[in-house]
Structures are given as structure tokens and as C-alpha cells.
């Protein structure tokens, strides 16, 4: 496929997923429609918990907005394509150079390393990534300063930026990691 800058998410999440992602993933099962939650063995439609213990509002299934799958290794992946999350963060200027966010916004990816098995908590077994033009898949918050990342990877926050913290720490869980 061409650069993710040109990936068209306007035709809905399933067409987008089938075109740009499905050929490259080893999928055990797709979770969609009214049975999607149970297809993925989750007991709740909104199973994830933020680092601060509050239930998060991300739904497993939101037809036309995301495509959730279980990979052959048991990892749950949900690629969001609407609700303000387009193909990739960034765009191109008149010279073809990648620029910052130009209205496409970022496209988030929820990754739950052990799918429906507990704890289903951001920063522990669930992480938020994003597609970024010219960079590929990056941890959500990769481009934020250290203070912002640390604030958003703490036991009093959402935990959304814990993957960014791990990346900055060389993919090691150091003493300052919240768990």
C-alpha cells in the first residue's frame, strides 16, 4: 500500500481495515455486530479501565467506527477510523513534506495484550497507539513532553500515554513506571 497519508477511511471501518490492514495480520477472529463483544469473550461492552480505576468509554464494537479483531497470538486490536480519528496524524505540504496535524487528526489503535483476560487496564495490559504520517504506528503521546507523558501514565490518570513512557525508557519497565 502507499503511504498511510493516502489511506481513505471515508468508506467505513470495514473497507478501510480490509484494504490496508487485514492482508498483513494473522487474525483469529473478527468481533463485529451485536455479537462482537461476546465473539471477543469480553463480559462488558466497555471493558477497559483507566489507570485511575475509572471505567473507560471505549466500546469494543462500534460498527462503522472501528474494526476489532483477535490476532492469532491472542492480542486484541481495534483500529479506530471515525469519531474524529482519520487515517493518520499529519499531512503533506505542497512539496510533499510531512507536516503536523492538518485536520486528519490521529487514528487511534487500542491494543489489549491478553484480550479479555484481566486486568484490561490502560498502562498494564492495554495500550493506546496511533498512526502517524511519515512515522508509522507510534505510542499515543509520543510527541508530547516528558511532563505530559508522565502525567498521563500515572495511577491518577487515564494511562493513555504509558506506551509512550515505555518507549522513552527503551521499552523497559523502570522504577518510575506506575506498576
Question: In the chain, what are the domain boundaries?
Answer: 4-168
Q: Which residues contact 148 (CB under 8 A, 6 or more apart)?
A: 141, 161
116-141 pLDDT, tens digit per residue, is: 999 999 999 999 999 887 788 999 99
38-54 pLDDT, tens digit per residue, is: 888 999 999 999 999 99
Q: What is the mean pLDDT of residues 18-29?
A: 94
Question: 92 falls in which pLDDT band (50, 70, 90)?
Answer: very low
Beta strands in 24-163 (DSSP E): 27-30, 66-71, 76-80, 91-92, 98-99, 107-112, 126-132, 136-139
Question: Of the candidates 99, 179, 55, 118, which has an alpha carbon nearest to the alpha carbon of residue 165?
Answer: 179
| pTM reported for the whole predicted model | 0.85
The pLDDT score that the predictor gives to residue 104 is 36
What does the alpha-carbon distance between residue 164 and residue 148 come to, in Å, rounded to a whole number? 10
The pLDDT score that the predictor gives to residue 97 is 47
> Exposed (0-12), middle (13-18) or buried (19+): which is 95, by Cβ within 10 Å?
exposed
Percent of the chain with pLDDT over 90: 55
* Residue 88 predicted with pLDDT over 50: no
Amino acid at each position: 500500500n502507499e503511504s498511510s497519508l493516502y489511506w481513505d477511511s471515508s468508506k467505513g471501518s470495514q473497507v478501510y481495515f480490509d484494504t490496508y490492514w487485514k492482508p498483513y495480520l494473522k487474525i483469529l477472529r473478527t468481533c463485529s455486530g451485536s455479537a462482537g463483544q461476546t465473539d471477543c469473550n469480553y463480559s462488558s461492552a466497555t471493558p477497559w479501565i483507566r489507570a485511575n480505576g475509572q471505567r473507560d468509554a471505549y466500546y469494543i464494537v462500534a460498527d462503522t467506527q472501528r474494526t476489532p479483531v483477535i490476532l492469532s497470538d491472542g492480542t486484541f486490536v481495534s483500529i479506530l477510523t471515525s469519531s474524529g480519528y482519520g487515517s493518520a496524524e499529519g499531512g503533506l505540504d505542497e512539496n510533499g513534506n510531512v507536516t503536523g496535524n492538518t485536520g486528519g487528526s490521529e487514528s487511534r489503535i487500542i491494543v489489549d495484550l491478553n484480550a479479555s483476560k484481566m486486568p484490561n487496564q490502560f498502562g498494564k495490559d492495554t495500550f493506546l497507539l496511533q498512526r502517524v504520517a511519515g512515522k508509522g504506528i507510534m505510542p499515543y503521546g509520543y510527541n508530547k513532553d516528558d511532563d505530559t507523558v508522565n502525567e498521563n501514565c500515572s495511577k491518577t490518570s487515564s494511562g493513555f500515554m504509558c506506551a509512550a513512557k515505555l518507549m522513552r525508557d527503551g521499552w523497559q519497565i523502570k522504577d518510575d513506571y506506575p506498576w
